[in-house]
Structure 1
Amino acid sequence: MTQDALSRLLDQNDWLMADGATGTTLFNMGLTSGDAPELWNVDEPDKIRALYQGAVDAGSDLFLTNSFGGTAARLKLHEAHTRVHELNRIAAELGREVADKAGRTVVVAGSMGPTGEIMEPMGPLTFDRAVEMFHEQAEGLKAGGADVLWAETISAGDEYRAAAKAAELAGMPWCGTMSFDTAGRTMMGVTSTDFVSLVESLPNPPIGFGANCGVGASDLLRTILGFAASGSERPIIAKGNAGIPKYVHGHIHYDGTPELMADYAVLARDCGARIIGGCCGTTPEHLVAMRAALETRPKSDTKPTLDEIVARLGAFSSASDGTGDNAGAPVRERRGRRRRD
């Protein structure tokens, strides 16, 4: 079997840079809150090409497709649940078009966000139905030419397992991240330690695993340190938000500067991450600064301490990373809930 493009790049490089925010960029292009970004794959293809091109021009080695909400459950909210294959296929086709003219290897990662429903026993979603929805999405992304599937912002262990099973059914390599946004845990209570155990127990484990979104860059790096301490040999992914969300003139604005995200990228690498990108609020301007920092600042021989992370990126939002080992760490007042990009 031919090695996939992402695994080849990981074999050739100490680190790779991922992309930034999909939602933030599309809102800046005129997407209205409440609209389905995936419909723009058909209705505004030039804007989706520009989204992808922005990451490539900034130096990203991979970018995620505009398909985060591409499951039947999410698209049903927009009466587009019969268009799952089409919208995901076109998201990947547009990505393939941009990547193939980059003049270097750029990986097209097929984004699969949460299904939009709560898993049993807390909610109505069965494991088999979750697999079915992810698999339908995965087949569309595969048909469009995605190199790898990329489950992201997952909070439930069973939903992560469902994404893994869907990738297996589609015959696709995959990566998967969870969002640790509740005092170091996912919304469903998964800790960094729990997550590593889950990943390593899968019959079809991901190429890489990690954390995305969450509260802020400091919290995310504390979770990355937790992954690194687990001893897993699997590549770790860090996609942190560009600072903390604030409401400015009726819109959500992330306060992270390019300089802060450059510091975050280097710290993420030194914490043990090998695939480093941004999530909500991260623009191409941030990515340019991140790439420059990763290329010019030497790797540290030791991992950053929690105090060093706080000094560079700001205080943590909770005293613990959820595993009980960080009592007494600096805490910052929590400001609002996260949202997608």
Structure 2
Amino acid sequence: MAMTEPASLPPLDELLDDAHVVALPMRVRFRGVEVRETMLLRGPAGWGEFGPFPEYGDAEAAAWLRAAVDAAWHGFPAPRRTRIPVNATVPAVPAARVPEVLGRFGTGVRAVKVKVAERGQDLSDDAARVAAVRALLPDAELRVDANGGWDVPTALAALERLGEHRLAYAEQPVPTVAGLAAVREGLADRGVPVLVAADESVRKESDPLAVARAGAADLLVVKAAPLGGVRRALDVVAQAGLPAVVSSALDSSVGIRAGLALAAALPELPYACGLGTVSLMREDVLREPLRPVDGALELREAVPDPGLLAARAVPADRRRWWLERVRRVHAGAAGAVPA
């Protein structure tokens, strides 16, 4: 089955006719971010979010623009479910801050993703953080996310130790597809019952199906924005033939709505999704942000409040930066795909 071809982009002036760039302060530092900047676009079908991180190049950012257009100009596929279970997310904070962070996700948390392999920290920091989560939530499903921060020997040693806290899976323990395969084989050889999930090896590779073909992962972590939108992400999951966890890209509620659409449309949803990350933000663009209640998010629309868009607007120089970025990305993406 061939991958769905992306639709052509609307003209630039139409794209930017109702565009808003906002800055959303974080409650805790997350993947190096303390204030999340992102652009929100309104189209004929609703709202979309264009929020590639500043360090991403224009070629990589093109998928994020297509995802925003997919949402705002074409809407979402029909849902199979309206309630999406979500995990709490614990950044690489000291173990003493774990109760505070988990408290932001409310009651009913049944799954937690813990960030590990943070630069400047070591395995003892990771072990203390995971142990603190397990002590607070003895029955929760735990998973760790290394963002490719380990090499194979370090990953095996770390997961053997962290696995003592009953981990369900490790997300992107090493950077490469070959490395994931080696970790998966090494864990099996050591009798460590931790599954391997691929994230960056799906969303940042030119071939998102390489992981599945190589037998390098037990499940996929999929994000609508970096894969080019909900429909293309559904294609990736269908062709990979592996269980999928839908996660966010540190989105506002507008981007989370696209993630919910993806999770709602999947044929099966065996794991809680990483779509509760608005809880890590102090501010949002909705009066009632998409934050989990009793461990889940209900499928509902995400329409930004005009007053909040104005209040969270970035300074003029940052708006110019984002507008110029969109112009470059649009020109490159439009030239790459025939209309």
Structure-1-length-normalised TM-score: 0.52
Q: Match of 1:107?
A: 141
Contact 2:246–2:274 (8 Å) recurs in 1: yes
CA distance 1:155–1:220, shift in 2 (3 Å): farther
CA distance 1:132–1:231, shift in 2 (3 Å): closer
CA distance 1:231–1:139, shift in 2 (3 Å): closer
Q: Match of 1:139?
A: 160
Contact 1:19–1:277 (8 Å) recurs in 2: yes
Distance of 2:279 and 2:227 partners within structure 1: 15
Instruction: Indicate the percent of aligned positions where both proteins have the same amino acid.
Output: 8
Q: Match of 2:297?
A: 292
One-letter amino acid matched to 1:227: V
Structure 2 counterpart SS, 1:171: coil
Q: Match of 1:67?
A: 116
Unaligned ranges ≥5, structure 1: 1-13, 24-36, 117-129, 244-255, 298-316, 330-341
Which structure has greater strand proportion?
Answer: 2
What's the CA shift string for 1:307-333, capped at 9, x where partnerless?
A: xxxxxxxxxx78999xxxx9458xxxx
Contact 2:222–2:245 (8 Å) recurs in 1: yes
Distance of 2:267 and 2:246 partners within structure 1: 9
The number of residue pairs the alignment matches comes to 220
What's the CA shift string for 1:46-78, capped at 9, x where partnerless?
A: x122223433x2654311124242xxxx4xxx3
Structure 2 counterpart SS, 1:63: strand
CA distance 1:138–1:53, shift in 2 (3 Å): farther
Q: Match of 2:127?
A: 89
Structure 2 counterpart SS, 1:292: strand
Aligned pairs for 1:87-236 (under 5 A) are 87-100=125-138, 105-115=139-149, 130-143=151-164, 145-152=165-172, 155-168=175-188, 169=190, 171-179=192-200, 186=204, 189-198=205-214, 201-202=215-216, 205-206=217-218, 208-211=219-222, 216=225, 219=228, 221-230=230-239, 232=241, 234-236=242-244
Q: Compute the displacement of 1:270 (Å).
A: 0.5
Distance of 1:15 and 1:172 partners within structure 2: 26
What's the CA shift string for 1:239-296, capped at 9, x where partnerless?
A: 12143xxxxxxxxxxxx2x3552353133321456242238766385432793324x8
Distance of 1:151 and 1:50 partners within structure 2: 23
CA distance 1:268–1:62, shift in 2 (3 Å): same
Contact 2:169–2:196 (8 Å) recurs in 1: yes
Structure 2 counterpart SS, 1:228: helix
One-letter amino acid matched to 2:100: A
Q: Compute the displacement of 1:15 (Å).
A: 6.0
Q: Compute the displacement of 1:236 (Å).
A: 0.8
CA distance 1:190–1:150, shift in 2 (3 Å): farther
Distance of 1:158 and 1:235 partners within structure 2: 20
Distance of 2:290 and 2:143 partners within structure 1: 20
Distance of 2:185 and 2:153 partners within structure 1: 9
Distance of 1:231 and 1:263 partners within structure 2: 21
One-letter amino acid matched to 1:287: R
Distance of 1:282 and 1:217 partners within structure 2: 21
Unaligned ranges ≥5, structure 2: 1-82, 282-288, 302-328
